[in-house]
Structure 1
Amino acid sequence: MVFSAAATPIVNQKFHGVETLTGNAASAGLAVMAVILCSGHISGAHLNPAVTIAFAVLRHFPWVQVPAYIAAQVSASVCAAFVLKGIFHPFGAGGVTVPSGNMGQAFALEFVITFTLLFVITGVATDTCAVGELAGLAIGGTVMLNILVAGPTTGGSMNPVRTIGPAIAAGTYKGLWIYLVAPPLGAVAGACTFTIVKLKEAEPPQQVRSFRR
């Protein structure tokens, strides 16, 4: 996911905007969708520490497994970023998500788009009324939508590891704290909100008691 999501902005930068914002958004959304569809049944396809933390907070995921999942997510992000650095030399900062506006605006945007993402993820992953087979499409589409909204301002990260790996590879740490703090907070808020407002499962109809005279 990090390889695809970061590669497209790098190509966009090197080839004078050939990918465009729509291409950047589509690349990330399609990558998320593909990974969910191929590995969701194996690991839950936790591509994002914010998702892992939010699910653990709501007891949809065991806390004891959180450190291993986050370690895998961070190490994969760093590896993907350095592979990109080796391929697209000089690496530049095309794949790094950095705020282009003020820090408050960037924090608010990352919080809101991650809130939206986790609202959708919690819905398709935990609600038995949802169509589970379409989870990859729903989540990938939400990622694409959020990048179209926030891409020009924050890069539309929604994910600490989407930012960490490319930032380390490029040596660019501007506003890094935003991407480490806002997505987990937005994720917990979005997951909790869906849990509060979701419809309760329909109760079986009560049987009518009959009395023989």
Structure 2
Amino acid sequence: MLGVYVSGTSGSHINPAVTFANCVLRKFPWRKWPVYAVSQLLGGMCAAAIIYGNYKSAIDVYEGGRNMRTVPGYSDTATGGIFCTYPAEFMTRTGHFFSEFIASAILMFVIFALNDEGNLGAGPFTPLALFFTIFGIGACFGWETGYAINLARDFGPRLVSYMIGYGPEVWRAGNYYFWVPIVAPFLGCTFGGWLYDMFLYVGADSPVNTPYLGLPRLIGLPVRKPHEGSQSCV
């Protein structure tokens, strides 16, 4: 919530998957996506480094030594979960993906709803509403996989944990689970945003509200405009 308030001048983008969905469905400039994504990733990495620097002494004691750094599933005193998400032991690879996909879809659906002034809209209370949204997602879907619905929040700190000595297990844990929080949020956010536009949104900036559900626009084909005096079907 506080991150959204702080980053308001840039559009409150703190999640690469949300930015991606806005590029696909809200005409957010594609040229800005790489800059936003890299900035978000570096922010997550910096935050993880600060946390490690602050708690290094406590981690040394809990893990059993300065050179002991373990991740969940490899030790009873693992601290790798401080930095990034690791799935519950009973989760299958399909379960990993489905959980993150659904959580991301819910997130994007609600974000579009909160920003839709043609519906109800949350206005300046959008960050507070997002707090309750993500709290709810965590309560309902977080136990199994840590609801890693943000690449910057998961991959960035995971990379930092690898760099500071947690070893290759940060990639191997959970049957190489690390790729799920990278891929699933992009697909889930795009799908959730598409659902909102398909059934609720009426704004012309969404490709869903253009001829053929925006497919010509997506692949760069020209769309023939209706003759003057005729009525469009959208």
TM (normalized to structure 2)? 0.67
Q: What secondary structure, in the 3-state scheme, does the structure 2 residue paired with 1:94 have?
A: helix
The CA deviation string for residues 136-182 of structure 1, in whole angstroms up to 9 with x for no partner, is: 12211111111112222101111111111221222212311100000
Mapped pair 1:138 → 2:129: yes
Mapped pair 1:121 → 2:89: no
Aligned length: 168
Preserved CA contact (<8 Å) 2:108 2:189: yes
Relative to structure 1, the CA distance from residue 199 to residue 75 in structure 2 (aligned partners, 3 Å threshold; closer, same or farther) is closer
Runs of 4+ in 1 over 4 A off after TM superposition: none
Mapped pair 1:61 → 2:31: no
TM (normalized to structure 1)? 0.74
| More RCO (CA 8 Å, sep 6+) | 1
**One of 44, 49, 52 as aligned partner of 1:77:** 44
Match of 1:9 in 2: none
Mapped pair 1:108 → 2:98: yes
Match of 2:81 in 1: 94
Match of 1:36 in 2: 4
**One of 51, 65, 82 as aligned partner of 2:18:** 51
1:199 positional shift: 5.1
Q: Which range moves more in the overlay, 149-158 or 185-194? A: 149-158
Output aligned runs, 1:178-189, within 5 Å: 178-189=180-191
1:109 positional shift: 0.5
**One of 124, 149, 162 as aligned partner of 1:158:** 149
Unaligned runs of 5+ in 2: 60-68, 70-78, 163-169, 204-234
CA distance in 1, matches of 2:201, 2:17: 24
Match of 1:176 in 2: 178
Preserved CA contact (<8 Å) 1:85 1:169: no
Question: Which structure has the larger Rg over C-alpha atoms?
Answer: 2
The Cα RMSD (Å) is 1.6
CA distance in 1, matches of 2:156, 2:137: 20
CA distance in 1, matches of 2:6, 2:52: 26
1:197 positional shift: 1.2
CA distance in 1, matches of 2:32, 2:126: 23
CA distance in 2, matches of 1:199, 1:103: 34
CA distance in 2, matches of 1:88, 1:72: 24
CA distance in 2, matches of 1:117, 1:181: 15
**One of 181, 195, 198 as aligned partner of 1:196:** 198
The CA deviation string for residues 8-53 of structure 1, in whole angstroms up to 9 with x for no partner, is: xxxxxxxxxxxxxxxxxxxxxxxxx12222332x011111000000
CA distance in 1, matches of 2:147, 2:122: 26
Q: What secondary structure, in the 3-state scheme, does the structure 1 residue paired with 2:107 have?
A: helix
